[in-house]
Chains A and B, each alone.
Chain A
Amino acid sequence: MSTVTAQNIGGGNRAEAWTGEPISVGSDKPFYIALGILGGVYIVLILGMLAADIIKAMTESESVWQTLGQEEIHYSIKLSLLSCTVTTILSLWVAIPIGYLMSRHDFPGKHFIDALLDIPIVLPPLVIGLSLLILFNLPLGVEKARLMGTDGREIIEYWKLDDLIPTAYTKGAVVLSQFMVACAFAVRTMRVTFDQINPRREQVALTLGCTRAQAFWHVVLPEARRGVLTAATLAWARSMGEFGPILIFAGATRMKTEVLPTTVFLEMSTGNLAAALAVSLLMVFASVVVLVLMRIWGRSNGLTGPRIA
């Protein structure tokens, strides 16, 4: 009986199945040691970075505390928290519909739009800032005024987007710069979230008398709660660290468009390492708090969506 089974499993004839030499199987230890070393280097680096920040801050605690007391820093903290929150809300408003449409419906040009949505993720952030600046200053072709140049020639001034919606070098520019990048991450997250929710449930809801909107509101969205939280976390964390596009499109004006990364940049450029460190630690603290909160909220059962951690 056992011979028959062995033959079936091996798929070969009887002689082949039983003439194999016994092999000595080596230890699995080297494999796991190698994995441990390769992964461990990265883990140690993360911990080392954080530890170094904290040690340095402790040795220079006086100037760190002094920095945190400054009015400019308070402004920067407030603007950062506010702009990140606004960006996160805006990102969700856009990412949930796009993610749902992309997950559930086929339409002409879908592949093109899918690729387009990844552009903010792969573009260098500086380029996004520059592109925004150019977009808002592009002449729209409608004449605004005719001026006489110093050489006597007439100069035609055209309306541009920034005249209609004054944005460049304002707080609006801070939010828009953050939004352009953060939203792309939120869209990806929501798309994956809706992909993971079985469309059968909303179909059942439709047969039970729901309109599409009711099925979405009562059935799909509650099940996507964890995905929404993850998208919000990603968008918030991403905007908290955004710097390149803000520098170009919103500028780095103290008490106006200064957010925490801008502060680090400004303090470093004047050689004030302790102040840059103080602000950096603030951002580390904020990120850890957000990460922990999201992990706690996301742990409830019955929620679908990728975990951030």
Chain B
Amino acid sequence: MIAVENLSVAAGAFRLDGVSFEIPAGRYGVLMGKTGCGKTTILETICGLKPAAGGTIRLMGDDVTGAKPAERNIGFVPQDGALFMTMSVRENVGFALQVRGWKRDRIAARVEELAELLAVTHLLDRMPTGLSGGEQQRVALGRALACHPGILCLDEPLSALDDDTRKTMIGLLKDVQRKTGVTALHITHNRVEAEQLADTFIRIEDGKLAVLPAPRTNGNAKGNG
């Protein structure tokens, strides 16, 4: 579960106060708003990459407001994937496990499992350079999910993709979220994307936040509810 209460976020001269919302465990939350409205800053603050200027953040019941990013058990998928360019796809996906000191064969098994889930098995020995946008996002997703995070934060993960790839990725995201039971927070400015994915729908307009009922075009995403 992601519970944000009266959060204040700041980036340079920008500031947004009174951010409150809750995404129940195992649900898919979508945060929508125009470019520059503070969506990414909220996400970065939840991930611990920016300090909260006020308020509290609770993830899976724990208050993590002042915790380091590493302590929050979050999978983060940034806009362009931000894959590690000097590592192969296999090393990218297994990175979090390597940092945690997992044994080699255990890492290999987990990487294979994720690669199968995300259909990137054939890419495992490639370097990130030369992967298509969709492939990069799949790898970034695998890397984020590797050590079973409770929370998945996605920052406009589909914005750079063509329409067909986007459709496939939306299907994949729903599927992955249902299978892993992860609580997702997905940022987008694309209404169609939001309608297809959201269980909980949050909108920022004119510096105000509104939590709306999920658009009911989204039929089957409550698998783990």
Interface on A for B, CB 8 Å cutoff? 198, 200-201, 203-211, 214, 218-219, 222-223, 225, 301-304
Contact = CB atoms under 8 A, between A and B. Distances in A.
Given A203-B49, A301-B129, A302-B127, A209 B82 contact: no
17 contacts: A203-B69, A203-B76, A204-B76, A204-B82, A204-B84, A204-B140, A207-B144, A208-B76, A208-B144, A209-B96, A209-B99, A209-B147, A218-B95, A222-B87, A223-B84, A302-B85, A303-B86
B182 to A, nearest CB: 14
Nearest to B84: A219
B127 A208 contact: no
Interface of B: 44, 47-49, 68-70, 72, 74-76, 78-80, 82-87, 95-96, 99-100, 127-129, 140, 143-144, 146-147, 153
Which 7 pairs show the lowest CB-CB distances between chains A and B?
A208-B96, A222-B86, A200-B82, A206-B69, A207-B76, A302-B85, A209-B99
A302 B143 contact: no
Given A206-B70, A207-B74, A223 B49 contact: no
Q: Which of B74, B85, B87, B147 has the most CB of A within 10 A?
A: B85
A208 B143 contact: yes
A36 to B, nearest CB: 36
A207 B69 contact: yes
Q: Which of B86, B95, B99, B144 has the most CB of A within 10 A?
A: B86
B127 A207 contact: no
A198 B78 CA distance: 11
Contacts, number: 82
Contact of A204 (B48, B72, B86, B143): B143
A200 B129 contact: no
Q: Which of A203, A204, A206, A210 has the most CB of B within 10 A?
A: A204
Q: Which of A201, A207, A210, A301 has the most CB of B within 10 A?
A: A207
Contacts of A218: 84, 95, 99
Contacts of B47: 203, 207
Nearest to B75: A207
A302 B129 contact: yes
Nearest to A200: B82
A213 to B, nearest CB: 12
A214 B82 contact: no
A197 to B, nearest CB: 9
Contact of A201 (B70, B79, B82, B153): B82
Given A201-B82, A222-B86, A208 B129 contact: no
A207 B85 contact: no
Nearest to B50: A203
B69 A302 contact: no
A261 B153 CA distance: 58
Contacts of A201: 82-85
Contacts of A205: 84, 95, 99
Contacts of B80: 198, 200
A214 B68 CA distance: 14
Contacts of B44: 203
A225 B84 CA distance: 13
Q: Which of B68, B69, B78, B127 has the most CB of A within 10 A?
A: B69
Nearest to B77: A204
Contacts of A210: 70, 99
A200 B144 CA distance: 13
Given A200-B82, A209-B99, A302-B127, 13 more contacts: A198-B80, A204-B82, A205-B95, A206-B49, A207-B72, A207-B75, A207-B76, A207-B144, A208-B144, A209-B100, A222-B87, A302-B85, A304-B85
